[in-house]
Chain A
């Protein structure tokens, strides 16, 4: 894993970010958590992240999905209701998921990001 890998967790429980921090940061990644409202206020750029983990159970996040703010960041969408994703740079995990699945998905997308930088 490269040392510049950046994972951004938007909304959802803080547990997701805590687990990813505990597992990925010793491997060189940077994991940050932000709130949709905060990110909307501060104009922070999730597009700067290599992978964005987005909790879909917050209906307001649909607006984030539609915005250009996410840019071309690879996405992992987490939600209670299954949704189909046709994009190879987007994964979906249905709650309750197993954390090894999440960690594996993040690592695969980070590796893809390293191979195919934007």
Chain B
């Protein structure tokens, strides 16, 4: 079975990827779903995906706002590679890798025959590639044909601008649509190497379910198309003198073929080849179109151009993403190295005092040094835990509990530090706090990071105060924690950036991970963090997330 996944291309967590396996998975807002959709327009249990034989089937679970695939409302639908699933405002891209053991495109195509420029006896139509798109419209044709051709172009144009689809998948979809649009039976996309002129099949499409038989493609026709940069239509390939009757292309009974160049902005990137093998008499008996038409050749030329542009765009995008990835990696390494260096600096300070204390037989110096070492050991621990929390592998460990208990633990943990740095810390728990299902360890970390920031903000100030409060909203069915401080506040221009990873206003004392981690955890709970701040007066962070009692409203409720 092929490996399949869902990629979030639009929503709260763009870039998040969910692997699909053999077991049924549920999608929705509730924490009980295998795939959580952090979207207030998603129902608690919105849809499910189940593997049925060789396909993944998406089924709507009576959601309030419906489930859409490629813009169409569905009840249940087998998913195809590249399908876009819309749940609320979240868009997920379904991707499926080719199953292991299936032949690749290169293994399914056989180029036969050599180029002979003097012999083009069966080429009945040639069209330059640059005359293609306009002539699809201008060529004399029936209104029906024009509409079909324009619809095909429209669908293929939609595919070429589809985001986040690997190029091999994109070309496969373009080819599938092309074979359907021109009434071909088989087709392939061939890439040409700009340096070696080597031709390499990238995609194969066939109406037949036989994926083992190789598709013969005339090397003569392909060479002619690549050299002349013209689209060609051949007919009666059985009697084409270029093909040795012993060659399998003839044995395969190719009756008609069309081949067009894929001309990019600057380079010729390859060709698209389609053919028909069914005997003419059989085709006519079935009531189908007897042969490829001139307007279809021009349509194919336009498709070739679109496919080439899609390949070029994909290459540019890949180069851009690679550059961005390297830049992000560099920034990550630089930021983490910086923070680790600061911790190392602290450890050196502690070690220095211990060394002095041992030399001078001063227990007090040893104790002071050890305190510094221990403090920095704690910093390493929190740095590692924040990094782990931010990594995609972590999943919330849900359990029944009371938010007050979790926040009380944070409060008690920070009391010693507040005493040391003369900060008045207070906890005002909600006496009516209901139990809920949440990840106590995650929420502990989320609140701890915010409280630590608040203490850092007020440390050294007169009447430094940090107040932690908890509460619940029975109407919205939410729980909340607020952390207020009377520190210097955050400037308006900094507020939109404070949740960005590696953004820190704390200089040498900040990693830029804390707030990003807290936000991630709270969002995993279907909530968010808001902040209000005023320069010179202080800041107030509010963590709000859904209270989960049970899922009695499965699939029927949305919150605004």
Interchain CA distance A57-B509 in the complex, whole Å: 9
Interface contact A96-B345, CB-CB below 8 Å: yes
- The size class of the interface chain A forms with chain B is 20 to 34
Residue B368 lies at the interface, judged by CB distance under 8 Å to chain A: yes
Closest residue of chain A to B421, judged by CB? A14
Interchain CA distance A19-B352 in the complex, whole Å: 8
Stretch from A36-44, A69-77, A104-112 contacting the other chain = A36-44
Interface size of B by CB at 8 A reads: 31
Interface contact B507-A57, CB-CB below 8 Å: yes
Residue A50 lies at the interface, judged by CB distance under 8 Å to chain B: no
Residue A27 lies at the interface, judged by CB distance under 8 Å to chain B: no
Interchain CA distance A59-B353 in the complex, whole Å: 29
User: Taking the nearest CB of chain B, how far is it from the CB of A102, in angstroms?
Assistant: 9
Residue B497 lies at the interface, judged by CB distance under 8 Å to chain A: no
Residue B400 lies at the interface, judged by CB distance under 8 Å to chain A: no
Contacts of B346 in A (CB 8 A): 13, 15
Interchain CA distance A53-B503 in the complex, whole Å: 25
User: Taking the nearest CB of chain B, how far is it from the CB of A107, in angstroms?
Assistant: 14
User: Taking the nearest CB of chain A, how far is it from the CB of B346, in angstroms?
Assistant: 4
A 56-99 to B, binary, CB cutoff 8 A, 1 in contact else 0: 01111100000000000000000010000000000000011111
Contacts of A59 in B (CB 8 A): 507
Interface contact B349-A34, CB-CB below 8 Å: no
User: Taking the nearest CB of chain B, how far is it from the CB of A12, in angstroms?
Assistant: 5
Stretch from B143-151, B153-161, B301-309, B456-464 contacting the other chain = B456-464
Contacts of A37 in B (CB 8 A): 487-488
Chain B binding site: helix, strand, loop or mixed by DSSP? helix
Interface contact A34-B342, CB-CB below 8 Å: no
Interchain CA distance A11-B459 in the complex, whole Å: 11
Closest residue of chain A to B457, judged by CB? A37
Closest residue of chain B to A103, judged by CB? B352
User: Taking the nearest CB of chain B, how far is it from the CB of A11, in angstroms?
Assistant: 6
Contacts of B536 in A (CB 8 A): 41
Partner of B460, one of A13, A34, A61: A34
Interface contact B352-A13, CB-CB below 8 Å: no
Interface contact A13-B345, CB-CB below 8 Å: yes
Q: How many A-B residue pairs have CB under 8 A?
A: 78
Residue A16 lies at the interface, judged by CB distance under 8 Å to chain B: yes
Beyond A41-B488, A80-B338, A97-B345, whether A13 also contacts B508 by CB under 8 A is yes
User: Taking the nearest CB of chain B, how far is it from the CB of A105, in angstroms?
Assistant: 14
Interface contact A13-B368, CB-CB below 8 Å: no
Residue A23 lies at the interface, judged by CB distance under 8 Å to chain B: yes
Residue A100 lies at the interface, judged by CB distance under 8 Å to chain B: yes
A 23-40 to B, binary, CB cutoff 8 A, 1 in contact else 0: 100000000011101100
Interchain CA distance A96-B340 in the complex, whole Å: 10
Residue B344 lies at the interface, judged by CB distance under 8 Å to chain A: yes
Contacts of B352 in A (CB 8 A): 19, 98-100
B 484-518 to A, binary, CB cutoff 8 A, 1 in contact else 0: 00011000000000000000001111000000000
User: Taking the nearest CB of chain B, how far is it from the CB of A82, in angstroms?
Assistant: 14
User: Taking the nearest CB of chain A, how far is it from the CB of B358, in angstroms?
Assistant: 14
User: Taking the nearest CB of chain A, how far is it from the CB of B537, in angstroms?
Assistant: 11
Partner of A57, one of B349, B371, B487, B508: B508
Interface contact B372-A38, CB-CB below 8 Å: no
Interchain CA distance A97-B345 in the complex, whole Å: 7
- Could you write out 20 A-B pairs with CB less than 8 Å apart? A11-B507, A12-B508, A13-B508, A15-B345, A15-B349, A15-B376, A18-B371, A18-B372, A19-B372, A38-B488, A42-B462, A57-B338, A57-B342, A58-B508, A59-B507, A61-B507, A96-B345, A96-B348, A99-B349, A100-B352
List residues of B whose CB falls within 8 A of some A CB: 338, 341-342, 344-346, 348-350, 352-353, 356, 365, 368-369, 371-372, 375-376, 421, 459-462, 487-488, 506-509, 536
